[in-house]
Every structure is written in C-alpha cells, then in structure tokens.
Amino acid sequence: MFRPFPLLLVLLLLLATIVPGRAAAPAGITRIDPTFWWVGMKNPKLQLLVYGPGIGGSTASVKYPGVTLDGTQKLENPNYLVLNLTIGADAKPGKLPLEFAGAKKVKYQYELRARTTPGDKSKVQGVNSSDFIYLIMPDRFANGDPKNDIVKGTFEPRISRDSMFARHGGDLKGIENHFDYLKELGVTTLWLNPVVENNQPKASYHGYAATDWYKIDPRFGTNEDYVRFVQRAHQQGLKVVHDVVLNHMGSKNYLQLDPPAKDWVHQWEKFTRSNFRDAAFNDPYGSQADKKQFEQGWFDGHMPDLNQSNPLVANYLIQNFIWWIEYTGLDDYRIDTYAYSEPKFLQDWTKAMLTEYPQLNMFGETWVQGIAQQAYFTVNNYQGPQVGFQANLPGVTDFQLQYAIQEALTKDAGWTEGINRLYYTMQADYLYQNPLKNVVFLDNHDISRFYSVVNEDLNKYRMALAWLLTTRGTPQLYYGAEILMKGYASPDGLVRSDFPGGWPTDKVNKFTRAGRTEPENATFNYISKLANYRKAHPVLHTGKYMHFIPDNGVYTYFRYDDAGNTVMVIMNGSKEARTVDTSRFAERMQGFTSATEVATGAAVSDLKSMQLPAYTAWVLELKR
C-alpha cells in the first residue's frame, strides 16, 4: 500500500507548477488512483489518474494480455496524466506494466487482483429493515490501540480529550473490542462516521473532510486493519455501513493542494458558502443563482466543493467507492450531504454502485424540510415533471419522522400537532416506493441527543425507543443512547462526547453492567429486550403497517403479517393517563383474546379496555 503523501513533496510540486518561469520537474510517479483494481468487473473500463512531477509530458504504453490502452488525457496541471484502459474478460490477475516515456523512462507495476466478492455470501450483504444500526463516531467510542493516537507528520499530532474539537484517540480496534457489548444490545449493523484519512489542521476527528480517498486515517488504523474489521464484524454476525462524502473533500487533500485542473472544484471570485437551501434543488420557480449557490457553494472554508459535472471528477468518485466495496466487502453506504451534489452525477453514481453490486444497500442524508422534499431524493411514486432528476437511491435518513417523534414528545396534541404529527408523517408514505428502506432515528452526531431533548424524562425516552424499534423502516441508534448519554449539538458539541469506559483512564466503564447506574441499566435492558425481540420476529421488520387516527393524545398502530402474527403498539403522548377503548381497532384485533407486553413480559387478559399511564408506550404481542 502507498504511504502518506509527504508534505515536502507537495510543496515542491506546488513550486514546480506555480512559480513563474520554472519548468516542471523530471517525470516520475508519486501515486496512481485507484491504487489497484480487479479483473472480472462488470464494467471493463478503468480510468487511472497518474500523479507525479512532470508526468503529463510523458507518452504511456501498456502491454498485457487482455488489457488495452484506449487513450490518454493530459490535464491542465502537468503533474497529472489520465490513462483510459479496458480490462477485457480474458485478463488475468497479475502485475500490469505501465511504461511512460518522457524526459526519462518510467515503469510502474500496477496490480490487477482477483475478485473476492462474487459468490462470497459474507461480503456485501446489504442492510435492510431486519437490521438494527448502531451509529459510532470512531474517535469518541473507544481507544483500542494507544500506539496510533499520535501520528507524526499529521497536521494535528496531538490528543486532547478536554477539547470537543480535538482528537480523542478512538479507533477501529476500540470498536472491535466491544462487539460482544453491541451484540448483547441487539445491534446487527455498525455505521461508522467516515474512517478515511482526514489530515486537517483543525477538527479532523469527525471525518467529513477527506484528504486521501484511498487511505484509512492512520489514527483509526491501516487499510488492512479496516479490511479485517469488516471481516471480523461479518464473522460476529454484524454488518458494516461505510459513511461517504460525495459533495466535498478536505482542503489538505493532494487533489486540492496540487489540483489536476482549476475546475476540479467549484470556483468563486471570493469564498462562497452554500446557502444550504435544498429547496433550490428542485424549485420549479427558483432562480439559477440560488440553485448554483446551493449546489456549488462550499460547505465550509476547509471543504472545497467538488465539481462533479467534470467527467474526470465524477469517474474518480465512482471508481473510488466501487474500490472500497470490492476491497473490503462492506454492506451499505450512507451518503453524507446527499442533495448537495450535481443531480446527474447522483443518478450516475448510484446506478454504477447498484449495477456492480445489486445487493448493496444505500441511504442518503436528506436533512430537508417537508415530506415530499425528502421523498424526492429516493425512489418514489411521483408523477409528472421531475425537474431534471429521477431518484434511484434506495433509501434516506428519515428526518421527517425524527421531527415527528420529537414533536410528539415535546408538544401537546392538536389537530395536526404533537403526537398527531406522527400519524400525518406516516400517512405520507404513499410517496415512497419502499418506505422500509428509510432509516429511522432519534438522534445522530449532528443533532442534540434525544434524552436531552425530552428533558431527561425517562418515560418519554422509553416511549420514543419503543416507537423506534417497532415502526416501519430500519432503526438506527446513536452510540451511548442506551446509557442515557446527554448533550446538545451546539454550542459546545457535547453530543459527540466520549463513551465512558472507552479509555483505560476513565473512572467508570459503562460497557459493563457494574459500571452503569440503575436507570442506565434499565434503559440498556429495555432496548436489548425490544431489539432482540424484533430480530426474532419478522413481523416487526417486514410486516404490514396499519394505524388509526390518534384520539385524545393516544396513537395506536399494528404490525401484522399474513400468518396472523400481530404486534399492537399503543402510545399515550399526553400528560394524563388514558383509558383506551379498543373497539375501534376491531379489524386488526378480531380473534385475539390476550396479549403479552414485550418489554416487561406482563400478561394482558382484557383487550377491550386498557388504562395507559401518561407518556407510556406498550408493545403488545397479541394472542388468540
């Protein structure tokens, strides 16, 4: 594998290209992306981005059975050269000799590997509604290998756990050390915030400003460590979601320090931030100025906005994320800032992933306003003009349901307010072709922790957890939610606090039952009970959904299947206890005579009338 790109070499290359009157350095090769490839891919085309001082002035040649060089492309920057190859069906794995003739001859042995994903059911399994996703910020979960805490040569070579914006030392090994804990909780899938290199001077811990698309951040581990991580997760019955960013990269990425061409990123006369108004994406009355600023404005000063209308940029990103799938066997992509990218590119990128890996799942971040706007970005049932875009993304992060459950537990019921918002949001599922593909959640790394949002009210919190694990879609839990971690997204960023016990010096260890308080253990056990019940009862992840209009602050819905399995969920979102007359639910309850409350195991013998305490949810397995 390649080594971290030397800062000194970057500076030399910059001098070679920007100092007036200075000629390019003699041809050589610093790196080639993709770093290696495979024979037998469905798409036989491969585009190599060759980087090295003066390499653009070279003539390339390839001699290898089954491989043809279709042509080369010189770029604005003489330190780059593009090779367009066809890897024929008869090509064999091996070392592909690349020869470059220029000021001097250069040879490079490029590796073609044999594929491992076809036929291996342990790889690229896909994530679906039967799964339970656990979202982890790797830097803040657990430190399993202190030796990689500080990496010389990085822009942020320090650990400072007293700062919410510095590195804390969590890594892949730390997560792996707690696989058993996660399995006990009922988790089936791990979603890690981005793990590729983020060698930025400030706040590099979060991962959303990639500085090397083909390299795991060395403070998390190596590329080989990540491959082993995915393999060991699969061996433990856990799937892996890989978090990706298509919209932007880090300002210290070599492609920004020494860009192939000016139009590799969007250019402005002065720094222009995105207006963050997703409505501009598909507004039939919108101005081009607003749309341009939304799509082409930079997310932040250290996050250059990628120009995906440049075919080279688009293909670079498509190949990179095919590379990670084949290399690791990961199961799912979560796509950050999904709506901010160029529309045609989004269609092409998704199509390329699913063509090569039909079993792959993907869901995009759609932090938008409005149910219709959210549905617009996934496979939907819209009729009529699509404003230049037809979604082909399987699913989205369901912010609309997150808004609804938050309102249900923080506002009194009104005609559409409070718990009624859940009803109206679910009612709009007719917009989606498959709403089960959507990921439902209470909180994540960008928004305040739900336990804090409900003012640390355990009854409300448990009610939300019951909803999360019984509603339609794929549930996602943010790390630490099971131990009542608190925090707000701003101004202090405590929503990204360390998991207590993830570091040897921590005074308490919440990974153990002994280290947790009674309320924390009760919450952990509640989630574990429901999650493991859900895992064992397909009716909660593939069953049909029927709900009834909320009455007097009580929302009731059913998950059921053709075999007669039925789970009834009653949510009392009011401040007072409510008596629920179940006669209006007869079409779903007919023939059932008793029930068991799943979380507590309590028997319910009278199904005709139920007394629910304030802010309580019952998950009832109905019995004949």
Structure tokens at 495: 């929503």
Beta bridge partners of 191: 135, 241
193: nearest Cα among 236, 235, 140, 131:
140
Contacts of 609 (CB under 8 A, 6+ apart): 579, 580, 581, 582
CA 586 to chain CA mean position, Å: 41
Q: Is 308 helix (H, G, I), strand (E, B) or coil?
A: coil
Q: Is 336 a catalytic residue?
A: yes
- Sign of the Cα torsion 314, 315, 320, 321 reads positive
Amino acid present at 452: S
Q: Where are the alpha helices (DSSP H) in 486-563?
A: 518-536
Q: Token pair for residue 453?
A: 């949002």
Q: Are 63 and 95 in contact (CB under 8 A)?
A: no
What is d(CA 341, CA 196) in angstroms, rounded to the nearest whole number? 20
Neighbours of 600 (CB within 10 A): 11
Task: List the strands of the sheet with 45-51, edge to edge.
Answer: 31-33, 45-51, 80-87, 67-74
Q: Strand 80-87 to strand 67-74: parallel, antiparallel, or no bridges (unpaired)?
A: antiparallel
Q: In angstroms, what CA-CA distances link 323 with 234, 241, 326, 385?
A: 19, 15, 5, 35
Three-state DSSP string of 45-91: EEEEEEECCCHHHCEEEECECCEEEEEEEECCCCCEEEEEEEECCCC
Instruction: Tell me which of 305, 336, 348, 356 is the catalytic residue.
Output: 336
Phi-psi region of 329 (alpha: psi -120 to 50; beta: other; left: phi over 0): left
Considering the candidates 171, 295, 356, 365, report the single residue annotated as catalytic.
365
Q: Are 133 and 527 in contact (CB under 8 A)?
A: no
Could you list the beta-strand ranges (E) of 384-455: 395-396, 439-441
- Is 342 considered catalytic here? no
Catalytic residues, by residue number, are: 336, 365
